[in-house]
Amino acid sequence: MTDAPSPADLAPSWEAMVRGLDAQLAAARVRRDIAAGGPAAPAGVVIVGPMGAGKTTVGRLVAERLSLAFVDADDLFVRAHGPIPAFFAEHGEPAFRREEERVVAHVLDRPDPCVLACGGGVVLSAATRRRLAASPALVVSLTVAEEEALRRVGGGAGRPVLAGDPAGTWRRILAERAPLYREVAGAEVDGTGRPPSEAASRIVDLMIPPTPRSRTRP
């Protein structure tokens, strides 16, 4: 039986976020120890890409198959600072980007590997791009066609940067960020028209080299 979370753990704070993340990583470490001998990805995976690409859904599947903790950078931000739309409204995008950079840096500095799904704008930070380039994790750019992405994000509810003109803004943002995704990524996976499980399988295949076939003498 586990103790119920304290009110301090439920209130947004940096300390509560750190405690929750450490617990996630520790639990995944225990699961890997129990399942020793299964597929392992010691370097971890970082998934970047535009809004609507399916980073969270695909990332959860990848983490499950690799016995790693799944970490969503936006969820960590919420644990540390509260709802993103409210933070945007009160502090503005520059402050959000600074705190997003801090969250991602904290995850990448952890000794335990994980599957980290990043917000669409994480690559706007030059410091984060340098960290990703230096990280041993496989950075995957998850792509998606515009029509499919817009269907997934709907009217852009809960996504402050899409306010007003979701379609036009999504296209403009992708044009700005696509070169940055390519800059940081070691691999690209297209999720357009494919179930998340297929995109996840492609990423897992990148992490686990195929077993060589044994040769037999004629």
- Residues marked as binding? 52-57, 74, 97, 120, 159, 177, 194
C-alpha dist (Å) from residue 10 to 18, 25, 87, 156: 12, 19, 17, 27
- The beta strand positions in 21-101, using DSSP E, are 45-48, 69-72
φ, ψ (nearest 5 deg) of residue 163: -60, 135
Which residues on adjacent β-strands are paired with residue 143? 190
Helical packing angle, 146-153 and 166-184, nearest 10° = 120
Which positions make up the binding site for ATP?
Answer: 52-57, 159, 194
Which positions make up the binding site for Mg(2+)?
Answer: 56
**Residue 148, Cβ neighbours under 10 Å: how many?**
16
- With a CB cutoff of 8 Å and minimum separation 6, the contacts of 134 are none
Cα 21 to Cα 27: distance, rounded to the nearest angstrom: 10
Which positions make up the binding site for substrate?
Answer: 74, 97, 120, 177
Question: Which helix H or strand E contains 9, and what residues bound it?
Answer: helix 7-10
φ, ψ (nearest 5 deg) of residue 159: -125, 90
